[in-house]
Structure 1
Amino acid sequence: MHVSYRRTACSLAALALAMGMAAAPAFAQDAATGASAAAPQDDIVVTGSRIRRSPLDQDKPVVTVGQEEIARTGLTAIADVLQRLPSAAGGLNTKVNNAGNVGGPPDGTGVSSGSAEVDLRYLAAKRTLILVDGLRFVNGSAAGGIPASVDLNTLPVNLIERVEVLQSGASPLYGSDAVAGVINIITKQAQEGLRASAQYGMYRQGDGDTQQYEASYGIQSRETGTSLVFGASYVKQGSVSTGDRAISRFPNPGQTACTDPIGGCSGTPPNGRFAVLGQTLALRAPVSGRPSYPADFKPFTAADRYNFAPLNYLLTPSERYGGFVNFKQALTDSINMRVKLLYNHRYSRTQAAYLPLNIGPDAGNGNLLDTISVDVTNPYNPFGVTLSSGADGSAANYSFIARRMVEAGQRVFTQNVDTMSGTVTFDGAFDVGGRKWYWDVNGTFGINDAKQLFTGNLNAARLAQALGPVSACTGACVPFNLFGGLGSITPAMLDYVAFDERDRSSQRMWDTTANLSGTLFDLPAGPVGVAIGYEHRDQFASYDPDPVITAGLGADVPTSPARGGFDVDEIYGELRVPILANTPFFNKLELDGAVRHSNYSSFGSNTTFTASGLWKPVADLLLRGGYAESLRAPSIGELYAGLSRFDATIDDPCTSAAGGSFASNATVRANCIANGVPANGSYNEPTGGQLGVFSQGNTALKPETAKTWTAGGVYSPDWAKAWSSAFSLEVNYYNIKLDNAIDSVPATLTLRRCAFNADPVSCAAIRRTSSGTIAGISGRLLNLNGIRTDGLDGTLTFRTHKIGEGTIGLNANAAYLLRYDVVPPADLGAPALRYAGTERGSPDQAYPRFKGNATLDWSSPGYGIAFTARYISGVDERDDVHRLGAVFYGDFQAYFSPAWMNHRTRLTLGVNNLFDRAPPACFTCQSANFDPTTYDLPGQFGYLRLSFGF
């Protein structure tokens, strides 16, 4: 839908003051009862309703983030800006080095390396609907699967006029995915002349340098009814290495050596680890040619483990460029044609340490690597016998051989992603019986194509041939040396077994909508408004791994191809009824309701309903409340994703090592033996290791459903106008009940239910080798859990009248999380997982009770300064041992705009994380010992920006 938008009513923080206010950046908002005095007050369409209304009478909580607020952050991606909202839970961003490190996520939606998402209410990005000018946008991908959310890195900042964040369920108005809320990105519809900016910044350590160049130009002609805005942008972000920050140089916080008791270093070192002939051995030193057994070997110890931590990214490098066109032409006095075109290209890179090659029956790859035997005739086999995996029916005489492939170079994943979107809209108005009706018809097409190149992988079939009988290693085959240690693998050996993995993915969306709105008749309190509409949407997606990976022959994380799609037809209707107005205790009383019926090709029909109301007992005070039913249809990835492995850091209770229950609990011992663990207690894998969880889509999935209750109020007193140009205070409460949440049974729960309860379903989901080692845990997607969450948001907005040349403003936002519980089905017999006040880890996500932000600024035409405070309360790790303390960040910005250039040129200087606050160390996080979805990178970030024409 294309409509006239403007800044709407707000949402979030009086709470901040009530709780002592310590905060994150503040975002200016127009309070529902107190928009800027200069703002127009005519009826328009605002996010959260299809019916035109006064923005001062918004019956749903909406936060608005404008151009000034975006510029004040110094950030170059809109996702990073929105992730600072207290109601946002973070999400995937360029601080997440997610590629070959841990594999595909257990929700089946793939690895979106280099992408950026926003997650409202901790409900995951796939439950937040992203709109662009009220219309859907194509989902993103990065050649790692089929994600269920939009990649916000495809939207350049200079395209954006403002962002409106509806913090309530809205499926009856906008359809699927609007469970946690809606983010509506409003693009520039009109502009006069040139606007341009250039920004450069870096961390104090001299890395992570970022360049941003933007330009747009606008033309308007009242005579011809033509409006044109076009622009281009370029952003280049440098990297920050884990080896360049103290917090991330080892696998655990505070660790200084692999021999530290805390462990964590890899058991796959460059010199090898050999679990052969009943022993676990290490090479004493690298050997040229074939080592001598037993002289060149010794028992494997912690000193032989490998520190992989300093070879990853804390900040992933990327490069984005693209352009946009927004065109409007009046065809008649009452009909307009609008065209919006967008193109964006992203190059990004993630990386991991050198490939950890593991072969043998206990390697746990789930492919050919687990069945490889090393023939006695291999010229580098020092043991004098064939090392048999047992795959041919013979007795296995080795468990695994592990070798870090340093000679092959680091695993590097580079993504090239192209996104194109086009929208054509016809809109207008007509009169019927003296009443004006508004209509629009829209067609949208979106494409997201991604290609990924992965270097540093090996072909398992070729490796098996190179390790097999030397007589079979003919032609280009070169016998492979797995035993000589670092430097023993020659370029000729690598040329035969190594390959460049090339993966690709694609998403397509076709969306057609039609809307009609107007008023039916007048009641004493005002006109009855109505809106009706229709939408048809087709979505298709595919993921095609490299043919070597599809054949199951890769040496890194395995994935499978997937493709599929669905179409949906929807109709909706909305009704607004003014009941009372301008009477004692009822300055205004109004009810609003909407209903949408959807028919999906993937699962069938569904109907959702919402009702809300507002009551203004006096003109200064607005009270509101609402109920909304929401729907999230299973995504294409959740329906059709092939088998993919996620390496989860979890404990196996069946181990005899410290932390396991095999030796101390007779019931566990009996159940584990029944599940395939040797009765002699020889299975003693350390706890806290990575175990493979294999997820897979499920075409039998049903939609998730949610019920949301909201209540709140906005106080914007008339008496404050004597000493302020804007003053409003808002508090909102939300309660969300989500059912049929699509998820897989947590692997930790599967392991415990098998070990402690002998649950046959759980035990069947665990695949063990003859030694007891876990070869894989099944985690197929199901309509599984319920989620229960509620909390409070608050907003304070204040700006003085002019003092001298400028004004002083304070914007404060806060969110308090009362509850976030994940409730498993009753038949699992598991307690609810209570996340509020904790750090989840694996995958990383903190659930702080309180998050707040506040910005205090002095602004004038010639100069200005601003200080933004950001606060995140402390959380407990779920290991019941460690805690992440509260964090306070401070950001500073100042600008100068000379009068001799008519204040059209501005020089801005800023420092984020002014006090150089390090993120709290996290022992259970899978990233670089801190949670990148919640906290800043270590270090101060300074930037300088020159802008023109704002």
Structure 2
Amino acid sequence: MARTGLTSINDVLQRLPSSGGGLSSKFNNSGNLGNPPDGGGVGAGAAEIDLRYLGSRRVLVLVDGLRYVNGASASGVPGSTDLNSIPSSSIARVEVLQDGASAIYGSDAIAGVVNIITKSSQQGFNASAQVGGYAEEGDGLTQDYQLSWGNGSTSPLRIVVGANYTKQDAVFAGDRALSAFPEPYDNACRATCSSFTPNGRYTGSIFVGGNATLIAPVLGRTATPADFRAFVSPADRFNFQPFNYLQVPLERYGAFANIGAEIAPDINLSVRGTWNRRESKNQAAPLPFGFGPTSGLTPTLSNLIISRTNPFNPFGVDLGGANNNVSAVFRRFIEGGPRRFSQQVDTAYGVATLDGKIGSNWFWDVNVSYGRNEAEQTMLGNIDSSKLARAVGPIAQCTAPCVPFNFFGGAGSITQAMLDYVTFEQNDSSRQTQFNTTANLSGSMLQLPGGPLGLALGLEYRKLTGRFDPDPIVAAGFSSDIPAQPTRGGYNVREAFAELNAPLLSGITGIELLELNGAVRLSDYSTSGSNTTFKAGINWKPFRDLRLRGSWAQGFRAPQIGELFGSQSRFDEVLDDPCSSHASNASPRRFANDATIRAACIAAGVPANGSYQQANAQISVTTGGNQALRPEESESLVYGFVYSPAFSRGLSIEANYYKIKVDGAIQAVPRSTTLLNCLLTGDPAVCGLITRVNGQLTEVEGLLQNIAAIKTSGLDVNISHRGIDTRAGRFAASWNATFLSKYDVFVPGPSGTQLLRRAGQQVGSPAQGFPKVKSIAVLDWDLANVGASLTGRYVSKLREPTGILKSVFYTDVQLRLNDLDLLRGLGLAVGVNNLFNVKTPGCVSCESNNFSQAIHDIPGRYLYARASFRM
């Protein structure tokens, strides 16, 4: 961790070859990305870990072996842990189990378990300060300060306390060539730039040519029909990219305390507590709003009518509604500034543990924990469409404080008085709580030929609650940005488990050790009923240097609060309409080349002459929770070996093959599948999920269901040497790699089950890369008080619909000085990540900032310096 130069435990974990990524500070989820349509809703500033590309909800995060409270960012009720809510100063080490473990730990442990071990003892003070950033670009400055103190492990009363502060500055998309425009490494607007422009795009029969914009902004007077000209694409489109963040700004404050004491012979009491505050921001381009039946906006805006008496109406007739003289007006609200989102997330977590032993072989512990995660989000730059409707309606109804609104003057024509009337400060909030109690007993029962038979038993009860409350104006449907509805719910679960370890044989020829282990867990959920999972494993050491092992495990993941009780929420997804006349590689079956598609499109209102062209790439997607969801079920197989030869002390060679199958995976039917299903089958139930206005695609609906299956397999290889001493110093090396051989997703398709092969692919909405090879190698050198590390990180190439993302190899270097003669306990380190400034592959299918955030680095060399001191 110290040798990466990273200040977030999440960023460190995402370097694991088995990590699929997850949310991080490189995700600027805001604006028309909306609330993720998977029941999650974690927004900017959150950090998650994804193992095996199975999603963060299928990874169980523990703190000191106990479940931690789920995160929240005031945009939903997620089923994942926000690692940014754990104070970094409290972390001693992290254990990662890359194996299915539901039988041992319960729900969510399908892909693996991350167990964060906090500091339980420390002698004296430890302090560190680190500063880093992209020096050549002059941005992304990050500061990290940590302080902790402990009274030592020998005292009857053991105390460890600490605090930390982290501040991370923004990196703007417009400051990198990769993301300055919607197309990667572009220098001008293409068709992917927005139709929502500062001067407006006006479509409909009343406008010149049916597709118009202003010749120039009209200020100080009312526009006339002569002020309009034909809209030219892409020259008149708007570049929204420079307003986005490549790295979101955030601050984290954290504190922890761990106090333990022996209260009676063989009985100990410990109390642990953490508190953390995250203040983060994210940003999107000024609000895209407008009106008209094909605008694809909210119902209020789509049905808006500009009265003929509005003083800024240049045509003297009512515009919109049943008049059929306006298709859509697209306006970029630059006068209101960017859409700015600010989150404040407070997390409190406490544990009390009573433990002891019975005799010499049995140990027991009882734990009670409570966690609460509360988030508030403020958004600036939004419009109350109910006030807007009044401001553009009949002038007689627009009495004070109403101010008539100007839709037709272009950039700068919306005055401060207009702004003050139609805008509002949006305030959203969310909260999750978890109460958990466990009781465990472990020990050895009898002696087997290979050693004592080990047994562990336990009981667990937990209760979770969650809520999400959008601003009342948003909930009423009058927001001009992404609409959302309140969500609240909860559930409780009772569990019992048993784990057995049986060393059958040891110390004989060909069997240095042979042991079997197994586990079973019974779970009873108040929402989804009961479930039983099993796990079995074998360890065999034919001789001292070699261990062979294998395990088979069942797993499950109970649906989370957001998935069960989540209300309908919207997400604007990049979708390709097969009815559109534009060329595309994403949908090979299209209006122009498929008679079935063409007939269905014409029946849906698309012009028969092939003139229809999709107005916007981003289409509104509406998805909600489903209380009828069943738990996901999985089966995993892992087998491999560890070879530690006696002739080379410190050398370890490990390889493990894994195979995981998930059935009943919770997701909505892919929106592209829904579109194609409707056109090919004409099924009324499917077509009823699609909204078209005059043929123009405006919305696709869905519902979370147990519809998918996932099959993935691969190989993990780890080779390490703890160190070789030479006259030139001590050298140590490690190489960790994951080879992904298969990642297949099975979803409903137009003609039965559709197979989506993901290995080696880059997909969008949300962006996720599935590289076939991901690895990291580290070479360490230490001589007396001086040390250095050289790290290489490799990601293999990825294929997307429009091309190839080339493989990348990042090189990191660090130089260290420790325990200097002038001041014992002082440590200094300087380093550079991405030393050779490797070019980040541009991604066309990624819906945000043109790169795969979960896989690749932000462009640029990252330099850092750290000083640490202990006494």
TM-score using structure 1 length:
0.89
Offset, 1:491? 0.3
Aligned residues: 862
- Tell me whether 1:312 sits opposite 2:244 in the alignment: yes
Amino acid at match of 2:740: L
Pairs within 5 Å for 1:212-251: 212-220=144-152, 222=154, 225-251=156-182
What letter corresponds to residue 325 of structure 2 in structure 1? Answer: N
Q: Is the 8 A contact 1:366 1:776 kept in 2?
A: no
- 1:684 is aligned to 613
Please say if 1:406 is aligned against 2:327: no
Shift in Å at residue 606 of structure 1? 0.4
Residue of structure 2 equivalent to 1:41: none
Which residue of the partner structure matches residue 711 of structure 1? 639
Partner of 1:167 in structure 2?
98
Deviations 1:511-535 (A, max 9, x none): 0000000111111211111000000
| 1:940 paired to 2:861 | yes
Deviation at 1:292, TM superposition (A): 4.1
Q: Is the 8 A contact 1:220 1:226 kept in 2?
A: no
SS at match of 1:812: strand
Report deviation, 1:804.
4.2
Shift of 1:902: 6.4
Distance of 2:219 and 2:2 partners within structure 1 = 59
* Structure 2 partner of 1:665: 594
Contact kept in structure 2, 1:116 and 1:151, CA below 8 Å = yes
The residue that corresponds to 2:141 in the other structure is 209
1:13-52 alignment, distance < 5 Å: none
The amino acid that maps onto 1:606 is N
Question: How far apart are the structure 2 equivalents of 1:932 and 1:558?
Answer: 26
Contact 1:672 1:754 in 2 (8 A): no
1:186-237 residue CA offsets vs partner (Å, 9 max, x unmatched): 01110000000001111021100011110000013635x2111000000000
- Separation of aligned partners in 2, 1:826 and 1:460: 38
SS in 1 for 2:452: strand
Alignment partner of 1:106 is 2:37: yes
Residue 720 (structure 1) shift: 1.1
1:236-284 deviation digits (Å, cap 9, x = unpaired): 00011111111111100232222x4xx2110010001111325111000
Name the structure 1 match of 2:346. Answer: 418
Task: Report the equivalent of 2:123.
Answer: 192
* 8 Å contact kept, 1:276–1:387: no
Q: Secondary structure at the match of 2:421?
A: helix
Would you say the 8 A contact 1:644–1:696 is kept in 2?
yes
Whether the aligned pair in 1 keeps the contact of 2:435 and 2:463 (CA below 8 Å) is: yes
* Distance of 1:663 and 1:192 partners within structure 2: 74
Residue 147 (structure 1) shift: 1.0
Q: Which amino acid aligns with 1:460?
A: S
**2:484 is equivalent to residue 553 of structure 1:** no
Q: Given that residues 640 and 697 in structure 1 are in contact (C-alpha distance below 8 angstroms), is that contact kept between their aligned partners in structure 2?
A: yes
| Alpha carbons 2:72, 2:375 under 8 Å: kept | yes
In the alignment, is residue 463 of structure 1 matched against residue 394 of structure 2? no
CA contact (8 A) 1:190 1:228 kept: yes
Gaps of 5+ in 1: 1-69
Rounded Cα–Cα distance in structure 2 between residues aligned with 1:508 and 1:111: 15
Q: After superposition, where does 1:618-767 map in structure 2 within 5 Å?
A: 618-659=543-584, 661-679=590-608, 681-685=610-614, 689-721=617-649, 726-767=650-691
Question: What is the identity, as a one-letter code, of the residue corresponding to 1:937?
Answer: I
Partner of residue 68 from structure 2, selected from 118, 128, 137: 137
Residue in 2 aligned with 1:380? 312
Counterpart CA distance in 2 for 1:622 and 1:788 is: 28
Which residue does the alignment assign to 2:301?
369
Alpha-carbon deviations, 1:644-676, whole Å to 9, x = none? 111111111112344482244321122223334
What is the correspondence of 1:252-271 to structure 2 with a 5 Å cutoff?
Answer: 252-258=183-189, 260=190, 263-271=191-199
Report the equivalent of 1:930: 851
State the distance in 2 between where 1:828 and 1:334 align.
66
1:826 Cα offset (Å): 7.5
* 8 Å contact kept, 1:861–1:903: no
Q: Mapping of 1:31-180 within 5 angstroms?
A: 70-180=1-111
**1:59-118: CA deviation from partner (whole Å, max 9, x where unpaired):** xxxxxxxxxxx0000000000000000000111000111111411222121142210001
Q: Distance in 1 between matches of 2:758 and 2:47?
A: 23
Q: Name the structure 1 match of 2:488.
A: 563
Q: 1:634 is paired with a residue of what secondary structure?
A: coil
Tell me whether 1:488 sits opposite 2:413 in the alignment: yes
Looking at structure 1, the residues matched to 610 and 174 of structure 2 have their Cα atoms a distance apart, in angstroms, of: 39
Give SS of 1:209's match.
strand
Distance 1:429 1:571 in 2: 21
From 813, 820, 845, give the equivalent of 2:743.
820
Q: CA deviation at 1:361?
A: 1.0
| Higher normalized strand content (fraction of residues) | 2
Q: Identity over aligned residues, as a percent?
A: 49
Aligned partner of residue 824 in structure 1, secondary structure: strand
Corresponding position: 1:893 with 2:814: yes
Counterpart check, 1:531 vs 2:452:
no
The CA deviation at 1:678 is: 4.4
Partners in 2 of 1:269 and 1:184 — Cα distance? 49
CA distance in 2, matches of 1:733, 1:593: 19
Deviations 1:347-374 (A, max 9, x none): 0000000111121111112421111100
Q: 1:826 to 1:668 in 2, by over 3 A?
A: closer
Q: Aligned partner of 2:726: which letter?
A: I
Aligned equivalents of 1:760, 1:98: Cα separation in 2:
34
Q: Deviations over 1:547-586 (max 9, x none)?
A: 0000000001111110000000000001111111111111
**CA separation in 1, counterparts of 2:698 and 2:764?**
23
Q: Partner of 1:786 in structure 2?
A: 709
Structure with more relative contact order (C-alpha pairs < 8 Å, separation 6 or more): 1
Is the CA contact 1:290–1:379 (under 8 Å) kept in the aligned structure 2? no
Kindly tell me: are residues 861 and 564 of structure 1, through their superposed partners in 2, closer, same or farther at Cα, counting changes over 3 Å?
A: farther
Q: Distance in 1 between matches of 2:583 and 2:719?
A: 52
Question: What does residue 64 of structure 1 align with?
Answer: none
Shift of 1:803: 2.9
In structure 1, the partner of 2:272 is: 340
SS at match of 1:398: coil
Query: Alpha-carbon deviations, 1:838-886, whole Å to 9, x = none?
Result: 1012211110100111110112441101100000010101x1x310001
One-letter amino acid of the counterpart of residue 368, structure 2? G
After alignment, is 348-357 or 106-115 more displaced? 106-115
1:768 is matched with: 692
Q: Secondary structure at the match of 1:668?
A: helix
Unmatched runs of 5 consecutive residues or more in structure 2: none
Q: 2:43–2:73: 8 Å Cα contact kept in structure 1?
A: yes
What is the alpha-carbon root mean square deviation over aligned residues?
Answer: 1.5
Q: State the Cα distance separating 1:680 from its structure 2 match.
A: 5.3
Distance in 2, Cα, partners of 1:345 & 1:830:
45
Give the structure 2 partner of residue 917 of structure 1: 838
Q: Evaluate the alpha carbon distance shift between residue 587 and residue 902 of structure 1 in structure 2; reply closer, same or farther with a 3 A threshold.
A: farther
Instruction: Tell me if the contact between 1:654 and 1:755 (Cα under 8 Å) persists in the aligned partners.
Output: no
Of 452, 459, 467, which residue of structure 2 is paired with 1:542? 467
Taking the aligned partners of 1:938 and 1:817, their CA distance within structure 2 comes to 26
Report the counterpart of residue 791 of structure 2 in structure 1: 868
Judge conservation of contact 2:820–2:827 (CA < 8 Å) in 1: no
State the SS of the aligned residue for 1:462. Answer: helix
Give the whole-Å Cα distance in 2 for the aligned partners of 1:80 and 1:136: 21
